[in-house]
Amino acid sequence: MDHGHAETERAAHDEQELTLGEKLYLREAIKGMAIVARHFWKNLFGFRDNTPEVLDRGGTGVNLVTTLNYPEEQKPYPPGYRGMHRLVPRVDGRPRCVACYMCATACPAQCIYIEAGEYDDQAIEKFPIRFEIDELRCIVCGFCVEACPKDAIRMDTGTHAPAVLSRPLAVFDKEALLSGAPVELSSDSMTYRAPLQTVSPMGKNEGGKKMGGH
């Protein structure tokens, strides 16, 4: 059957006489109203599962409203989401960062600024005195995370960079970035001369002389 013929068939079907039942329209109207009423009662009496993780709100006794009331209810980002950066601390609170500048070099937006300092501890020689990320310049490409040899910078905070009211507030310094769970890799122990102490207030163990003439 050629295409044109099928088209005429379709048109003939569309324009065919309505049955009397359809012409009266009352049945169609009542059917439509019944559907709307079903939704109404289901949503009025149904239990609203307001956990953000629930995307498909089907099932008996559950209402059909899929809207999240945004500021009060937030859906978490998916696990692979490249969120705001964080500097990963060691178990004692010091940053894992060894100020190698590889993230700053890899960054295409040049939003990372690092000033290195030196530990007395010979095993880990360097640490960042200043580590700042301008979240307004960041293009969230994740190259810094890829470049880091020490797993010291991550984008796993599960949140986006917060809105700020002035540009300087979007520059996050080391203290602001040093958050989240500490990470200890078994290969780390080779780099420590003495066993690490338990978690202590930040900065206590960062004693040592700075590099450069600050």
Partner 1 sequence: MDAIQTPQSRLASRDIPTAAPVKRTVGNWLGWQIGGWAAFFAFLLGLSGVLLGVVRLLAGFDEKKNVAGGLWESVGNILILMLVFVMVLATLLTMADRKWSALMQDRVGPNRARLPGIDSPLAGLPHIIADVLKMLFKEDFLSAGAAKQKLLFNLGPLLAFGPAFCLFAIIPMSPEVFFFGKRISLQVLHLDWGILYVFALASIGVFGTALAGWSSDNKFALLGGLRASAQMVSYEVTLGLTLVGAFIAYGTVRLDLMSELQGATEAAMRMGGADPSLLFGWLPPWGIFMQPLACIFFLVAAMAEIKRTPFDTPEGESEIIGYYLEYSGLKSGLFLIAEYVETVVVAGIVTAIFLGGWHLPWIEPALCSALDNLWHGNGAALLAIFQVFGFIVKLIFVIWVMFLARWALPRFRYDQVMHLGWKMLLPASLANVIISAAAYLAGGHEMLAIVGLVEIVAFCGYVAFWGKTPAAETPDAHGAHGAADPHAAPAAH
Residue range at the interface with partner 1 (CB under 8 A); choices 118-126, 130-138, 148-156, 168-176: 148-156
Q: Which helix (H) or strand (E) holds 129?
A: strand 126-134
Q: How far is CA 130 from the centre of its chain?
A: 25
Going 30 to 34 to 36 to 41, the CA torsion angle's sign is positive
**Residue 192 binds partner 1, judged by CB under 8 A:** no
Q: Is 1 in the site for partner 1 (CB under 8 A)?
A: yes
Instruction: Rank residues 9 and 175 by Cβ distance to partner 1 and give the closer one.
Output: 9
Pick 52 or 203: Cβ nearer partner 1? 52
Which residue, 26 or 169, has its beta carbon nearer to partner 1?
Answer: 26
Cα 165 to Cα 155: distance, rounded to the nearest angstrom: 23
Name the strand (E) or helix (H) holding 31.
helix 26-45
Nearest CB to partner 1, comparing residues 10 and 204: 10
Q: Quickly list DSSP for 105-123.
A: HH-TT--EEEEEEE-S-SS
Instruction: Tell whether residue 64 is a contact of partner 1 (CB under 8 A).
Output: yes
Q: How far apart are CA 183 and CA 89, in angstroms?
A: 7
Q: Is 31 in the site for partner 1 (CB under 8 A)?
A: yes
Q: What is the token pair recorded at 34?
A: 């019944």
Say whether residue 157 binds partner 1 (CB under 8 A).
yes
Provide the binding-site residues for partner 1, judged by CB under 8 A.
1, 6, 9-10, 12-13, 16-17, 19-22, 24, 26-27, 29-33, 35-37, 39-40, 43-45, 47-53, 63-67, 69, 76, 79-80, 142, 145-146, 149-151, 156-158, 180-181, 183, 185-187
